[in-house]
Amino acid sequence: LRTALNDSKIQWFHIPVGLGIGFLGLVQFYRVSKREREKQEFEGQDAEGKAKKRPRIRHEGPWQVQLMSALPLKALSRLWGKFNELEIPYYLRVPGFKLYSYIFGVNLDEVAEPDLHVYPNLAAFFYRTLKPGVRPLDPNPNALVSPADGRVLQFGQIEGGDIEQVKGMTYTVDALLGQRTPTPSISSASQSDDEGDASVRSRELREDGELVKKDEEFARVNGITYTLPDLFSGGSKFKKHSDLEDQSVKPSAVSVAEVGVDLALGEKPWYDLLSEERRHSLYYAVVYLAPGDYHRFHSPTNWVVERRRHFAGELFSVSPYLQRTLPGLFTLNERVVLLGRWRYGFFSYVPVGATNVGSIKINFDRELRTNSLTTDTAADRAAEEAQKRGEQYAGYAEASYEGASPILHGHALRKGEEMGGFQLG
Nearer to other proteins, 134 or 261 (CB): 134
Mapped onto helix, strand or coil, the DSSP state of residue 207 is coil
Nearer to other proteins, 161 or 196 (CB): 161
Nearer to other proteins, 54 or 280 (CB): 280
Nearer to other proteins, 189 or 289 (CB): 289
* 142/416 Cα distance (integer angstroms): 13
Nearer to other proteins, 286 or 312 (CB): 286
Nearer to other proteins, 360 or 397 (CB): 360
**How far lies 106's CA from each of 37, 113, 149, 423, in Å?**
47, 14, 11, 16
- Smallest separation, CB 294 to other proteins (Å): 7
Pair type for strands 219-221 and 224-226: antiparallel
- Smallest separation, CB 172 to other proteins (Å): 11
- Smallest separation, CB 342 to other proteins (Å): 7
- Smallest separation, CB 288 to other proteins (Å): 5
Helix (H) or strand (E) holding 398: strand 397-400
* 315/372 Cα distance (integer angstroms): 12
- Smallest separation, CB 43 to other proteins (Å): 35
Nearer to other proteins, 158 or 198 (CB): 158
What residue ranges bind other proteins (CB under 8 A)?
Answer: 135-138, 140, 142-155, 157-158, 163, 173, 176-177, 219, 221, 275, 278-289, 294-295, 297-298, 300, 318, 330, 342, 344-354, 357, 360, 416, 422
Residues contacting 178, CB < 8 A, separation 6+: 309, 311, 337, 394, 395, 396, 398
- Smallest separation, CB 167 to other proteins (Å): 15
* 404/190 Cα distance (integer angstroms): 5
Residues contacting 218, CB < 8 A, separation 6+: 225, 226, 227, 228, 230, 231, 346
* 296/122 Cα distance (integer angstroms): 15
Nearest to 177, CA basis, from 336, 329, 346, 302: 336
Residues 350, 338 contacting (CB under 8 angstroms): yes
- Smallest separation, CB 95 to other proteins (Å): 26
Q: What is the DSSP letter of 308?
A: E
